[in-house]
Amino acid sequence: MTHDPYLIIGLGNPGREYKDTRHNIGFMLIDHLAGRIGARGMKVQSKAIITSGLFEEHKLILAKPQTYMNLSGQSVQGLLHFYKIPLENLIVAHDDLDIPFGVIRIRPTGGPGGQRGMANTIELLGTKDFPRLRLGIGRPPGRMEPKDYVLQNFSKDEQKILPEILTRASDAALEFVLRGLNAAMNKFNGAVE
């Protein structure tokens, strides 16, 4: 028995200097998921690094756009068309300044909330009606500019609980695949316990 494939895209910036930054939590989630499902092989397609694997008879295509954050929609659009994935089988994971660190929120739709990768994705897809997995990184301290904050590495304290957050976010993405968006929202929206 085969099911329609799912496309899970994590937003971030390519390059070693951005690897551990707050803006790259979407990439971190994709790496975590790839390990969980035993994804094999990597290739570049539609300006993204992709890998794929099976989870409970569902094919998952995992992608990390390599366009830099502000042009992420190019990869999302290209991969959706290439694999003929319906929007309801797409979930885009990204950092969110307006959500406290450690909190995840799954939503069926919504605006970009100042996240430029999401803004570009919404613009190129011509709709805001697709699932997203928002990964809270919290607000910058004091008067720090958001653009500087998102490009900083996670603090030592944050790094200690980051694995728990990525596990919970992976669980949420896999729940979305198996049981649908509403089940994932009901079970996982909120803080790491």
CATH number at residue 110: 3.40.50.1470
Domains in the chain, number: 1
Residues 6+ apart with CB under 8 A from 88: 130, 131, 181
List pLDDT tens digits, range 14-68: 999 999 999 999 999 999 999 999 998 999 999 999 999 999 999 999 999 999 9
Is residue 55 in some structural domain? yes
Share of the chain above pLDDT 70, in %: 97
As annotated, the active-site residues are 23
The answer to whether position 88 is within a domain reads yes
Question: What is the rounded (10 degree) CA torsion for 151, 40, 188, 3?
Answer: 130
Residue 91 forms part of a structural domain: yes
Domain range for 140: 6-191
pLDDT band at residue 114 using 50, 70 and 90 as cut-offs: confident
Tell me the backbone φ, ψ of residue 171, rounded to 5 degrees.
-55, -40
* Overall average pLDDT of the 82-110 stretch: 95
Output the pTM of the full model. Answer: 0.95
- Which of these, 153, 151, 184, lies nearest to 169 by C-alpha position? 184
Residue 78 lies in a domain: yes
Residues 111 and 170: beta-carbon distance below 8 Å: no
> In whole angstroms, what is the distance from residue 52 CA to residue 69 CA?
22
